[in-house]
């Protein structure tokens, strides 16, 4: 299907011509801010609410209605700027971006054009590469057009006026993997600072991609914008397809097929893109200053206050977990994938005093159960137990009150009932048995008829005793102390049989 293959170095080498093509990738990410009300009115917003029930004269553009800026939205936007290392402007303003579409009741969008509230900043990838930001600006969201009702289009204006920040990168990325990593890191930062839930399924995080390719050593060529990307995987797949499509077009030699400046939609089913419309330039929007909102100055004290509210960010936490707790880079990455999970881990460590066991139980126990369709809870925020319960479970295993495998059963019970580990252990009789008399009785039962195992152990193959562990654990319903069981089995075989 494709005439290209990825080269070890940056770029894509064509199988057809041997030319190395250099992709150029930039991202524009829209993020809904997690405020109680909309950007310019007091209407609240709730995903999934009945259509057109969360509106007012301002967000439906009734004559004479005037916008009033939401201070909390500005505060969250400035906090994001601080987390991304961007420069906050001393003076900023809003502009009207004029275009007509059925879900835009005013016929224009209040956005920011030549004086955004911040510029610069960026995200550093694991490789050390810095993806730079051109700007971040604040704007209102449009409504939602619903096209899947046969021959009609319905419009829901609940979303109209919801606060957005749009972050625009320089074209610093050259692979789909870099774009995917950038988006993952940006999402983590936005969630850590409490700016947004970043739920792409609900539309609170949306991404547009600009892609072009050029032969190595030549100047940049025409860029194409990709839309309709509702997951990071789709972003990655769309970029890879578009790179292939553009290379094939250029190498065909047919200029009528060469990429043009346009917006294309990505179809995840066919993994292809198709033309949506020609791409607008800034002058097509006829920007001009918003007359109902005067330019304003951001108080340095206000900006500094927002910076002071920033938590420890994901990259810093990962580094600290590796140096302070001795965790691997992989484990540190898993545990910092969300702020809630990282906070849960740190509280568990504080209470248990055991970082590595805390990491193990969370990564291989808690997260494994959260991914099970049979479990109601789907995130750390929804857990029916708290960090002190997990710390208690870790202690029960560490002091051999219960065996590690029994601990996993207890953890499952915590998910299903919300009861404490000690309560589950007591109710189900799961406390580990270390009484030698009882253990010896189970061991002697397990030895009946096991002549070959006995012979192997007597011949020096002590590992053969493992075949007897299962029957003992079954008889004890998992409560037997496995270390003592092995010692007793070896003693009986070597001294009595």
331 pLDDT above the threshold of 60: yes
- The SS3 of residue 244 is helix
Percent of the chain with pLDDT over 70: 97
pLDDT tens, position by position, 127-166: 999 999 999 999 999 999 888 777 888 999 999 999 999 9
The pLDDT-based confidence of 6 (bands split at 50, 70, 90) is very low
12-14 and 262-267 beta bridge pairing: unpaired
169 pLDDT above the threshold of 60: yes
Last residue of a domain, one of 408, 428, 448: 428
On whether the CB atoms of residues 440 and 488 are closer than 8 A, the answer is: yes
Give the span between the Cα atoms of 302 and 75, in whole angstroms: 8
Residue 361 and residue 445 in one domain: no
pLDDT tens, position by position, 241-261: 999 999 999 999 999 999 999
Mean local confidence (pLDDT), 260-280? 87
Mean local confidence (pLDDT), 343-362? 97
Matching residue, tokens 């204006």:
157
Tokens of 461: 């193959």
* CA distances to 12, 20, 25, 57, 425 from 8, in Å: 9, 11, 18, 57, 55
Residue 92 and residue 42 in one domain: yes
Give the pLDDT of residue 8. Answer: 41
Give the span between the Cα atoms of 258 and 213, in whole angstroms: 11
In angstroms and rounded to an integer, the radius of gyration of the C-alpha atoms of the chain is 30
The pLDDT-based confidence of 281 (bands split at 50, 70, 90) is low
The model's pTM is: 0.85
Residue 292 and residue 421 in one domain: no
* CA distances to 227, 255, 395 from 155, in Å: 20, 40, 56
Residue 42 and residue 182 in one domain: yes
More confident residue, 11 or 112: 112
Q: Give the count of domains, the chain.
A: 3
The pLDDT-based confidence of 3 (bands split at 50, 70, 90) is very low
- CA-based end-to-end distance of the chain: 70
The pLDDT-based confidence of 2 (bands split at 50, 70, 90) is very low
On whether the CB atoms of residues 133 and 120 are closer than 8 A, the answer is: yes
DSSP codes, 260-311: -SEEEEEETTTTEEEEEEEPPPGGGGT-EE-TTS--EEPPHHHHHHHHHT--
Give the pLDDT of residue 429. Answer: 83
CB within 8 A of 181, min separation 6: which ones? 125, 126
Give domain status of residue 337, yes or no.
yes
Give domain status of residue 260, yes or no.
yes
Query: In terms of residue numbers, what domain contains 397?
Result: 312-428
The pLDDT-based confidence of 476 (bands split at 50, 70, 90) is confident
Give domain status of residue 306, yes or no.
no
Give the pLDDT of residue 1. Answer: 34
The candidate with the shortest Cα–Cα distance to 37, out of 157, 163, 144, 138, is 163
Give the span between the Cα atoms of 105 and 157, in whole angstroms: 8
Mean local confidence (pLDDT), 360-373? 96
Give the span between the Cα atoms of 95 and 110, in whole angstroms: 6
Residue 414 and residue 450 in one domain: no
Residue 48 and residue 111 in one domain: yes
Residue 145 and residue 253 in one domain: yes
For 290, list phi and psi in degrees, rounded to 5.
Answer: -65, 115
pLDDT tens, position by position, 109-130: 999 999 999 999 999 999 999 9
Mean local confidence (pLDDT), 353-369? 96
For 470, list phi and psi in degrees, rounded to 5.
Answer: -55, -50
Residue 49 and residue 126 in one domain: yes
* CA distances to 97, 320, 468 from 315, in Å: 36, 9, 48
pLDDT tens, position by position, 185-243: 999 999 999 999 999 989 899 999 999 999 999 999 999 999 878 899 999 999 999 99
Residue 151 and residue 170 in one domain: yes
Give the pLDDT of residue 282. Answer: 61
Low-confidence winner among 56-70, 318-332, 348-362, 420-434 (lowest mean pLDDT): 420-434
Give the pLDDT of residue 329. Answer: 94
180 pLDDT above the threshold of 80: yes
* CA distances to 207, 366, 400 from 410, in Å: 42, 12, 14
177 pLDDT above the threshold of 60: yes
Q: Is the dihedral of CA 40, 43, 49, 51 positive or negative?
A: negative
Q: How many CA atoms lie within 13 A of 128 on its CB side?
A: 0
The candidate with the shortest Cα–Cα distance to 434, out of 359, 389, 487, is 487
Residue 317 and residue 295 in one domain: no
The candidate with the shortest Cα–Cα distance to 333, out of 185, 177, 175, 200, is 185
Matching residue, tokens 């009882």:
438
Residue 424 and residue 440 in one domain: no
Residue 159 and residue 297 in one domain: yes
On whether the CB atoms of residues 40 and 58 are closer than 8 A, the answer is: yes
Q: Any idea what the CATH number is for the domain that residue 486 is in?
A: 1.10.10.410
Mean pLDDT, rounded, of the chain: 92
């Amino acid at each position: 299907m494709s005439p290209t293959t990825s080269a070890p170095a940056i770029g894509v080498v064509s199988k057809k011509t041997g030319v190395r093509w250099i992709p150029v990738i930039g991202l524009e990410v829209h993020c809904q801010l997690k405020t109680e009300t909309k950007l310019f009115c007091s209407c609240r917003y709730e995903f999934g609410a009945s259509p057109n029930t969360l509106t007012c004269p301002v967000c439906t553009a009734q004559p004479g209605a005037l916008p009033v800026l939401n201070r909390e939205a500005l505060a969250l936007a400035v906090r994001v700027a601080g987390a991304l290392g961007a420069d906050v402007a001393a003076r900023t303003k809003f502009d009207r971006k004029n275009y007509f579409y059925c879900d835009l009741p005013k016929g224009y969008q209040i956005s920011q054009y030549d004086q955004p509230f911040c510029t610069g900043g960026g995200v550093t990838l694991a490789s050390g590469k810095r993806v730079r930001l051109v700007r971040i600006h604040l704007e209102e969201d449009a409504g939602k057009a619903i096209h899947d009702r046969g021959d009609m289009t319905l419009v829901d204006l609940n979303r109209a006026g919801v606060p957005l920040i749009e972050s625009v990168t320089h074209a610093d990325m050259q692979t789909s993997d870099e774009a995917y990593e950038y988006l993952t890191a940006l999402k983590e930062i936005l969630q850590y600072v409490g700016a947004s839930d970043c739920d792409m399924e609900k539309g609170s995080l949306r991404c547009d991609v600009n892609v072009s390719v050029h032969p190595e050593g030549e100047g940049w060529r025409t860029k194409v914008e990709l839309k309709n990307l509702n997951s990071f995987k789709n972003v990655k797949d769309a970029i890879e397809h578009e790179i292939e499509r553009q290379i094939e077009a250029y190498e065909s030699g047919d200029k009528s097929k060469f990429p043009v400046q346009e917006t294309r939609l990505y179809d995840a089913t066919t993994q292809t893109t198709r033309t949506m419309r020609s791409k607008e330039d800034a002058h097509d929007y006829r920007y001009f200053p918003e007359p109902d909102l005067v330019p304003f100055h951001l108080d340095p004290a206000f900006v500094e206050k927002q910076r002071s509210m920033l938590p420890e960010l994901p990259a810093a936490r990962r580094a600290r977990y590796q140096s302070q707790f001795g965790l691997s880079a992989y484990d540190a990455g898993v545990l910092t994938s969300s702020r809630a999970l990282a906070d849960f881990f740190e509280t568990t460590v504080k209470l248990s005093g055991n970082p590595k066991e805390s990491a193990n139980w969370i990564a291989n126990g808690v997260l494994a159960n959260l991914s099970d369709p049979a479990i109601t809870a789907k995130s750390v925020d929804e857990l029916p137990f708290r960090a002190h319960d997990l710390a208690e479970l870790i202690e029960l295993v560490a002091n051999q009150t219960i065996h590690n495998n029994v601990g996993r059963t207890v953890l499952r019970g915590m998910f299903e009932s919300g009861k404490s580990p000690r309560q589950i252990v007591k109710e189900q009789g799961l406390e580990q048995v270390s009484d030698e008399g009882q253990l010896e009785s189970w061991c002697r039962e397990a030895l009946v008829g096991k002549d070959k195992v006995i012979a192997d152990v007597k011949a020096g193959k002590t590992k053969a005793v493992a075949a007897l562990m299962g029957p003992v654990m079954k008889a004890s319903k998992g409560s037997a102390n496995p270390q003592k069981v092995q010692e007793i089995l070896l003693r009986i075989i070597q001294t009595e049989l």
